[in-house]
Amino acid sequence: MEQHIAELLKQNQELILALQRTHGSSQKVTVQFEKFDEENENFDCFFERFQTYLDVQNIPADSRAKVFISSLSAKLYQLLKNLLAPDLPSDQNLDKLKNVLKQHLTPKPLIIPSRHKFLNRKQNEGESINGYIAELRALAINCDYDSNMLNIMLRDVFVSGLRDKAILDRLFEEDNIDLDKTLQIALAMEKACKGANDIMGQGIKAVYAGKKQMNKKSDFVSKQKKPLFCSRCTGTDHVKEKCRFISSKCNFCSKVGHIQRACFAAQKSKTKPVKQKQVSFNSKAENKNEIPVFELNSIDSGLHEQPPIMINLKIENKNCTMELDTGGAVSVMSINNFRKISKKQIQPTRVVFKTYKGDSLIPMGYVTVKVEYRNQISNLNLYIVKENLDTILGREWLYKINLDWQAIKAVRVTSKRNLSQLLEEYKNIFDDELGEINNYQVKLELKPEVKPIFCRVRTVPFALKGRVENEIDRLEKEGIIEKVEHSEWATPVVPVVKPDGSIRLCADYSVTLNRNLIVPQHPLPRLEEIFTSLNGGKQFSKLDFKHAYLQMKVHPESQKLLTINTHKGLYVCKRLMYGLNGAPAIWQRYVDGLFQGMQGVKVFMDDARITGSDEMSHFKALEEFFKKCKEHGLKLNLSKSQFFQNEINFLGHKIDANGLHKTDEKISAVVKAPVPKNVQEVKSFLGLVNFYGKFCKNLATIANPLNNLTKKDVKFKWSKDCQVAFEQIKKEICSPKVLVHYDPELPLTLASDASPVGVGCVLAHIYPDGSERPIAFASKTLSKTEQKYSQIDKEALAIVWAV
């Protein structure tokens, strides 16, 4: 009996195990695997799918190579067999098969072309932020950046390629943020802009939906019976086909078919064109529950002779001038202007501005400010925008401030629209005649006991002889030179061919007069001094003095010293000549004295730069400059002049209202510079880079491996450190850093730092909102002795050097 029970239990256990095996096999996952399609899929993606398939199917290691072979198409298997010949694919392990195919199908891309493609990728029109950064990540895969450098490069290329200026301006406010923070800001602004557009569309629909519903019945009635109207005579009791004036001739346009009171041309001539002005804010919201939407397009009456009305008042106890715009709903000021009068915190707002082009503009917010006008004091809302717009006084303020209309004096704002009138008024300073300064003569002074030097005439090439003679005749005709028979001094001339084929005649005073002159001392303006003088400008004008030095007359006693010796004989020079030692100092001293004290005017050699805090002051400075030139006989070159530009290039820098920028030409020269092959090329590259040293933080430390190559007794060897430094310098030069203009009204901060091989510092402005913006960076390589200092001594040295 016990034996029978034991046998039954054993049978029962075997049955349970059999059921478990059956259940387990029924739960096994079966995955269909698509074969490799080399036309629509790259090999790496295919192998990732294949690896997942092996894991899901739990395929044994010794069978994986055979499964891999079976997943290939006939064409790809034949390729694999050819690559392995004389070996067979079935005799290889999975890793060998994978590596052979990968090396053939996806060879490693070259780094330089990959980086070039990556660095030049810009955001396409309509491309989202997520789509743009995804494309950049894909392009960066083959650039061979390490993990830290990859994120830095992704951030920099992402920022430099953005299309939306509002996002760029927001990112430029941050200092050295990482990629994640950059994307977070960009995505938030993209979402906000999209949301504003959506809200704007819904708001307009909400305004008109009710009206359409209320007027549905009346609309239906009007469609059933339209009023009569005749376009031939403007009558309302008949249609044009039955008009008695169908054959009449118009007294205005002389056309047959209508009379003068119905003439479209006559009506058009009486109506002045409506023109769009820079900015105004007209509300689109019609009830308190809607998000306010304001348009940025004011309406000009078309009466060009009527200037804008400027209102002088006080905001936060500071004098301000605002342009009155009765068509504008709110009052608006740029952040740059607002920070000059107040440190108040900006409050968020739901308001959205819309430009006349249809673009959305989200203001930074609003501030409740104290406004004083003729003993009236009110607390009013002022909207703040990042863009450099004119300061507008809108209707919201007019409800609180009672303007004294009888006492208001419209300040004449003469702008680009009547620039032509100003140029016409001063057309004489732009004519073709050579200028002649009427109150100054150059007098040259020789060193004691100097003997005259007479140099023989130099041979002129036969091919240039005719053109040289024509140039000599032209100079004589214009009174620049005068022929003489005898002279103790004589300087040879060198003909220089201009790009247009004409000749410039240069006197080589280096062999005669230059070393024997007492050179007048006058400093040329430093770059920082020039850029500071342009602080606060919104637009810029650039003017060129025509043949600058030649406009200065030379004292009769000094003319004989400048005598030139040509193949046509001796000529004394009656004007200040190019190539003369001290000529730049003489010219700069004169123009500095002439234009001294003129606000918004800065002259450097033969270039003048003019600006103003607003259009009115800019135009006034331009007018005063023209007046000075006319009074003193100076002439300008109109073809080389520019007026009311948002940005100008000056001395290798791009200048706008925000500050200093690097020019594309200089950046391109650095980026395209090849890897140096010798010490001289290293020096040339460093010289090119040092021009923008003030834009680069800790340049001396970064460039230390390259600086070491230029030292004496150091053998030239381009190491990995040199290559890293070379690429890092290029990245720094390409970075979108902006240096703000120095403003004496803002506080300064000076930060210094020290590394084992160099010291650096940054001078920055502290703005009322607490943000810091750089004015200039500086750095210096430590000497061998200084490199031996302790770190705390290096930090102290950095402080002393920076100050």
Report the alpha-carbon distance of residue 394 to residue 746 in Å, rounded: 29
Phi-psi region of 76 (alpha: psi -120 to 50; beta: other; left: phi over 0): alpha
Report the alpha-carbon distance of residue 526 to residue 604 in Å, rounded: 9
Q: Determine the pLDDT at residue 106.
A: 66
Q: Determine the pLDDT at residue 107.
A: 62
Kindly state the average pLDDT of the residues 638-646.
82
Length of the chain: 803
Q: What are phi and psi of 722, to 5 degrees?
A: -65, -40
Report the alpha-carbon distance of residue 747 to residue 476 in Å, rounded: 57
To the nearest whole percent, how much of the chain has pLDDT over 70?
79
Q: Which residue has the higher pLDDT, 657 or 503?
A: 503
pLDDT digits (tens, 9 = 90+) for 450-489: 899 999 988 888 888 889 899 899 899 888 899 999 889 9
Q: Cα–Cα distances in Å, from 437 out to 23, 383, 442, 554, 590?
A: 108, 50, 11, 10, 10
pLDDT digits (tens, 9 = 90+) for 431-447: 888 888 888 898 988 88
Q: Determine the pLDDT at residue 380.
A: 92
List residues bridging with 283 in a β-sheet.
Answer: 294
Judged against a pLDDT cut of 50, whether residue 272 lies above it is answered with no
Contact 379, 314 (CB under 8 A): no
Q: What per-residue string of b and e applies to 55-79 under the rule 16 or more CB within 10 Å gives b?
A: eebeeeeeebbebbbebbeeebeeb
- Name the most confidently modeled range: 30-34, 303-307, 738-742, 756-760: 756-760
Q: Determine the pLDDT at residue 204.
A: 35
Judged against a pLDDT cut of 70, whether residue 59 lies above it is answered with yes
How many other C-beta atoms lie within 10 A of the C-beta of residue 671? 13
Q: Determine the pLDDT at residue 382.
A: 92
Contact 383, 187 (CB under 8 A): no
Kindly state the average pLDDT of the residues 323-331.
77
Phi-psi region of 60 (alpha: psi -120 to 50; beta: other; left: phi over 0): beta
Report the alpha-carbon distance of residue 648 to residue 661 in Å, rounded: 10
Report the alpha-carbon distance of residue 329 to residue 59 in Å, rounded: 73
For residue 505, name the pLDDT band (cuts at 50, 70, 90). confident
Q: Determine the pLDDT at residue 327.
A: 64
Kindly state the average pLDDT of the residues 31-59.
71
Task: For residue 308, give the H/E element and its range.
Answer: none
For residue 492, name the pLDDT band (cuts at 50, 70, 90). very high
How many other C-beta atoms lie within 10 A of the C-beta of residue 434? 16
3 state DSSP class of 422: helix
Contact 266, 260 (CB under 8 A): yes
How many other C-beta atoms lie within 10 A of the C-beta of residue 302? 11
Architecture (CATH level 2) of domain 419-656: Roll (3.10)
Contacts of 379 (CB under 8 A, 6+ apart): 368, 369, 370, 371
- Name the most confidently modeled range: 628-642, 699-713, 776-790: 628-642
105, with CB counted inside 10 A (0-12, 13-18, 19+), is middle
Report the alpha-carbon distance of residue 49 to residue 556 in Å, rounded: 92
Query: What torsion, rounded to 10 degrees, do the Cα atoms 190, 195, 196, 200 define?
Result: 140
Contacts of 665 (CB under 8 A, 6+ apart): none
**Lowest-confidence region among 367-381, 531-545, 567-581:** 531-545
Q: Which two tokens stand for residue 60?
A: 């044994």
Report the alpha-carbon distance of residue 367 to residue 348 in Å, rounded: 9
Judged against a pLDDT cut of 50, whether residue 62 lies above it is answered with yes
Contact 56, 64 (CB under 8 A): no
441, with CB counted inside 10 A (0-12, 13-18, 19+), is middle
Residue type, 225: K
Report the alpha-carbon distance of residue 318 to residue 337 in Å, rounded: 11
Q: Cα–Cα distances in Å, from 734 out to 114, 340, 661?
A: 18, 31, 11
Which CATH code for domain 659-802?
3.10.20.370
Against a cut of 0.85, is the pTM above it? no
**How does strand 318-324 pair with strand 310-315?**
antiparallel
Nearest to 516 by CA among 562, 475, 578, 467: 562
**How does strand 332-334 pair with strand 376-385?**
parallel
List the domain boundaries for the chain: 308-411, 419-656, 659-802
3 state DSSP class of 289: coil
Judged against a pLDDT cut of 80, whether residue 403 lies above it is answered with no
Nearest to 626 by CA among 407, 372, 421, 330: 421
Q: Which residue has the tokens 């990112």?
A: 171
Judged against a pLDDT cut of 50, whether residue 281 lies above it is answered with no
Q: Determine the pLDDT at residue 408.
A: 56
Q: Which residue has the higher pLDDT, 486 or 70?
A: 486
**Lowest-confidence region among 29-43, 290-304, 308-322, 622-636:** 290-304
Report the alpha-carbon distance of residue 475 to residue 483 in Å, rounded: 11
CATH topology of domain 308-411: Cathepsin D, subunit A; domain 1 (2.40.70)
How many other C-beta atoms lie within 10 A of the C-beta of residue 725? 20
For residue 17, name the pLDDT band (cuts at 50, 70, 90). low
Q: Determine the pLDDT at residue 26.
A: 41
User: Half-sphere exposure (CA, 13 Å, Cβ side) for 79?
Assistant: 14
Q: Cα–Cα distances in Å, from 212 out to 217, 408, 417, 517, 554?
A: 9, 44, 43, 88, 82
3 state DSSP class of 634: coil
**Residue 412 has what DSSP assignment?**
-
Judged against a pLDDT cut of 70, whether residue 325 lies above it is answered with yes
Q: Cα–Cα distances in Å, from 32 out to 28, 59, 200?
A: 13, 14, 50
Judged against a pLDDT cut of 70, whether residue 591 lies above it is answered with yes
Q: Cα–Cα distances in Å, from 211 out to 174, 199, 216, 590, 601?
A: 46, 19, 8, 71, 57
For residue 413, name the pLDDT band (cuts at 50, 70, 90). very low
Q: Determine the pLDDT at residue 369.
A: 93
Cα of 622 vs its chain's centroid, Å: 25
For residue 761, name the pLDDT band (cuts at 50, 70, 90). confident
The arrangement of strands across the sheet holding 569-573 comes to 481-484, 569-573, 564-566, 491-497, 503-507
Average predicted confidence (pLDDT) for the chain: 76
List residues bridging with 545 in a β-sheet.
Answer: 636
Q: Determine the pLDDT at residue 571.
A: 92
Contact 59, 67 (CB under 8 A): yes
Judged against a pLDDT cut of 80, whether residue 559 lies above it is answered with yes
Q: Report the 3 state secondary structure along 79-134.
A: HHHHHHCCCCHHHCCHHHHHHHHHHHHCCCCCHHHHHHHHHCCCCCCCCCHHHHHH
Contact 505, 472 (CB under 8 A): yes
Q: Determine the pLDDT at residue 13.
A: 59
**Residue 376 has what DSSP assignment?**
E
Rg (CA), the chain: 39
